[in-house]
Structure 1
Amino acid sequence: MTYTIEAVGHVRGGRADPIDDDWGQSRSTIELDPAEFGPDALAGLEAFSHAEIIFLFDKVTPEKIEKGARHPRDREDWPLTGIFGQRGKNRPNRLGVTVCRILSLEGTRLHVEGLDAIDGTPVIDIKPVMREFLPRGEIRQPGWVAELMAAYW
């Protein structure tokens, strides 16, 4: 089945290249599409410390999409892992999701820190982070993930 999803806006500023690490201090702006949204679309978001941003890895070409297993970051010392067992950008629907810090709002612009999306990236949705939607209980993950993420933020 096919669905049509329109971007609500785009990432402006921040990085131009999708480098894997050191995203924590990256600052960028999500600019809503002014033909579709006014400042009221962001009303109330300033009361939250963080937002969850859903975006499209639009620079990933169809031939680069992974549907099976691969070694994360092509590291043979990490286990062969299915695309749904990792967060790589070459996903079947090319969707990225990141929780980032809200810095400020200015009209139809949301200024954020720690968004791992590059300048020009289409933004699909913006959601406030609510404590009640965070994981309940202990989080577990394989050891290789901590090694992969050590320099990410």
Structure 2
Amino acid sequence: MITKIVVDADYSDGLRGIDDYSHLIILYWLDKVDRVRLTMRPQGKKDVPEVGIFACRCPWRPNPIGMTTVKALERKGNILTVKGLDVLDGTPLLDIKPYTPPYDAVEEMRCPDWVNNLEY
């Protein structure tokens, strides 16, 4: 999915240098979430174990903050074109951060087997 992120013109100077990054981390507010769930099966899959909300990336969180990494395609002024931002149109964005491997990539990472079997 290709998305255009329009940054308020007052903050466009804050985008200086962002063109040098291939990927960005987007933080957003899941404003359509109307309830909190403390346990669930990720993606509603019956073959996935029920886990706590903090052990999955499901939206029904006490503080519904979403995060995703997107591919940066283009910047024109205060408009960023990205690929992979899976949010509803009008979802409030909280922050944009560059993806930087020295800080964001993790060596010797582990996660449950069921995570590797999910379809995205």
Residue identity opposite 1:65 in structure 2:
V
Q: How does 1:110-149 map to 2 (within 5 A)?
A: 110-148=80-118
Match of 1:79 in 2: 49
Q: Which runs of 4+ in 1 moved over 6 A?
A: none
Equivalent-residue separation in structure 2 for 1:92 and 1:131 (angstroms): 29
Match of 1:32 in 2: 7
Equivalent-residue separation in structure 2 for 1:94 and 1:41 (angstroms): 25
Match of 1:65 in 2: 36
- Taking every aligned residue pair, what percent have the same amino acid on both sides? 38
Q: CA RMSD in A?
A: 1.3
SS at match of 1:103: strand
How far has the Cα of 1:78 moved from its partner? 1.4
Whether 1:50 and 2:23 are equivalent positions in the alignment is: yes
Equivalent-residue separation in structure 2 for 1:75 and 1:48 (angstroms): 35
Match of 1:6 in 2: none
Equivalent-residue separation in structure 1 for 2:3 and 2:105 (angstroms): 27
Structure 2: segments with no counterpart, 5+ residues: none
Match of 1:41 in 2: 14
SS at match of 2:68: strand
Residue identity opposite 2:3 in structure 1:
S
Q: How does 1:12-23 map to 2 (within 5 A)?
A: none
Equivalent-residue separation in structure 2 for 1:55 and 1:140 (angstroms): 25
Structure 1: segments with no counterpart, 5+ residues: 1-25
Q: Could you give the per-residue CA deviations for residues 12-41 of structure 1, whole angstroms, max 9, x where no partner exists? A: xxxxxxxxxxxxxx000111123x42x312
Residue identity opposite 2:109 in structure 1:
I
Equivalent-residue separation in structure 2 for 1:135 and 1:46 (angstroms): 20
Whether 1:98 and 2:71 are equivalent positions in the alignment is: no
